[in-house]
């Protein structure tokens, strides 16, 4: 299957966070509070002069929220890490917003 490059980037980010030795000591609130940091990372990755600002914000917001959901899910289900499923879910979010 071919995935959007942004989906691969975002899942890689998720897996890096999940793999960190401190991940399981985080709380759901910690992950929610990382919203602006995650948003900035995603925004910098997809920013392009030619993209409509409203579209850019919508895509960045949707992807950031999905990253948070994946992280929260894996916080509560640490043995259920499935990168392929994560890629499919992230790809679906991005695909639903691609112009």
Percent of the chain with pLDDT over 90: 88
Instruction: With CA atoms as reference, report the closest residue to 78 among 19, 33, 31.
Output: 19
What is the domain extent for residue 72?
5-95
pLDDT band at 2 (very low <50, low <70, confident <90, very high): very high
pLDDT of residue 49: 75
Count of domains observed in the chain: 1
Over the stretch 27-49, which tens digit does the pLDDT of each residue have?
999 999 999 999 999 999 998 87
Over the stretch 73-85, which tens digit does the pLDDT of each residue have?
999 998 999 999 9
Please indicate, yes or no, whether the overall pTM of this predicted structure exceeds 0.85.
Answer: yes
Q: Indicate the average pLDDT of the chain.
A: 94
């Amino acid at each position: 299957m071919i995935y959007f490059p942004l989906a691969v980037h975002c899942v890689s980010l998720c897996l890096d966070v999940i793999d960190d030795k401190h991940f399981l000591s985080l709380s759901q609130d910690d992950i929610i509070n990382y919203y602006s940091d995650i948003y900035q990372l995603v925004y910098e990755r997809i920013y392009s002069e030619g993209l409509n600002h409203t579209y850019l914000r919508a895509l960045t917001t949707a992807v950031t929220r999905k990253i948070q959901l994946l992280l929260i899910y894996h916080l509560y289900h640490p043995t259920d890490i499935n990168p392929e499923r994560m890629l499919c879910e992230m790809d679906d979010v991005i695909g639903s917003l691609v112009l």
